Amino acid sequence: MTVQTLRPPQETTVVVAMSGGVDSSVAAALLVEQGYHCIGIMMRLWAEVAPGQGSANRCCTLEGVEDARRVADRLGIPFYYINAEKPFKRHVVDETFIQGYASGQTPNPCLACNRHIRFGYLLGYARALGADYLATGHYARLRRQPDGSVHLLRAVDPAKDQSYVLSVLGQEELRQVLFPLGEYTKEQVRAMAADRGLPTASKHDSMDLCFVADDYRRFLQAWAPATMQPGEIVDRQGRVLGRHGGLAGYTIGQRKGLGISGTARPLYVLALDPEHNRVVVGPQEALGRDRFTVEQVRWTLDRPVAPGTRAQVQIRYRGRSAGCTLELESPERVQVLLDEPLRDVTPGQGAVFYDGELCLGGGLIARER
């Protein structure tokens, strides 16, 4: 990928968000090779850990910090490790993760992290340094238009496409970010790392919830015990079928672990009712929904689509896209009318809209009242 810039690379400063992984390492290497003045920065993110110990957050382990530093040394660029624990704890852990579960949702912390931390806090830090761009190792593409706007596109590698979690970005952010890996597959990125002798070439990807050391339910029991209060499991008619150990331990579409026996048909979680601390279950066919509401919508082009726009919607990070029509209640609230019913439409998860490879924006699936 060659970055389109109004100035020569030698006069352009890029802050590279480094994690100690192969993706950010190769992103930095490609930009250095193109002649950009790069600065490597890694963020220390909050995790529950005893005082005096290193961070247990999987995105910034001590090993990861050392790997990022070694990559920066090999590339000949400065490297800084900055503290972002407080904003991460507030925006991602408290306001998204804990409050999401407390309101009967299944939150997606990665969306909040990208909006508030990586492309909020860190992008602001890069601007304060006088940098022209912030670059990351995300798999997505940017297409800069003649009118100055920037289109966010899916990555070439569909198996690694991360436009879903980047849908929170608007034009202010997109004009100042770079995604050097969007034109490559993961296999090509690993090969490039090996060819350049980068110490992260064979490092495995981290896919777990980064700030929780083990089981998220144990975490919630410790930090938000109100989300793990026992209650009733009921059917759609309100008949009590069993007991649950806390609403946060369940999600829409779940079948296993309900602890209900003696029913004629398998039962699935249909809804979470935080007002009455109930898990509502029913047959599989009751999971299908042909419409749902998306709130807190952000549009990548800073303007909403026209009412009745045809699009595709993706309701899981690795989920398939489904055809739909978008009906706007307001710029921030959209009714999604599906061509065919989808199961497992889960409040709190992201719903991201596409026009082919172009990411239009997205928001959070609202809970039905």
* Catalytically annotated residue among 59, 60, 110, 210: 210
Split at pLDDT 50, 70, 90, the class of 207 is low
324 is a catalytic site residue: no
User: What counts of helices (H) and strands (E) characterise the chain?
Assistant: 10, 17
**Cα(308)–Cα(166) distance, rounded to whole angstroms?**
24
**Cα(269)–Cα(196) distance, rounded to whole angstroms?**
49
Which bin fits 200, alpha (ψ -120 to 50), beta or left (φ > 0)? alpha
Same-domain status, 294 and 282: no
SS3 180: coil
User: Would you say residue 54 has pLDDT above 50?
Assistant: no
Q: What is the domain range of residue 72? A: 10-137+180-195
* Catalytically annotated residue among 38, 60, 110, 113: 113
Tens of pLDDT, residue by residue over 137-190, are 999 999 999 999 999 999 999 999 999 999 999 999 999 999 999 999 999 999
CATH number at residue 128: 3.40.50.620
Between these two residues, 130 and 56, which has the higher pLDDT value? 130
Same-domain status, 118 and 239: no
Same-domain status, 32 and 72: yes
pTM: 0.92
Beta bridge partners of 243: 232
359 is a catalytic site residue: no
- Mean of per-residue pLDDT scores for the chain: 92
CATH number at residue 350: 2.40.30.10
Same-domain status, 294 and 278: no
Between these two residues, 58 and 118, which has the higher pLDDT value? 118
Same-domain status, 119 and 59: yes
State residue 40's pLDDT score: 98
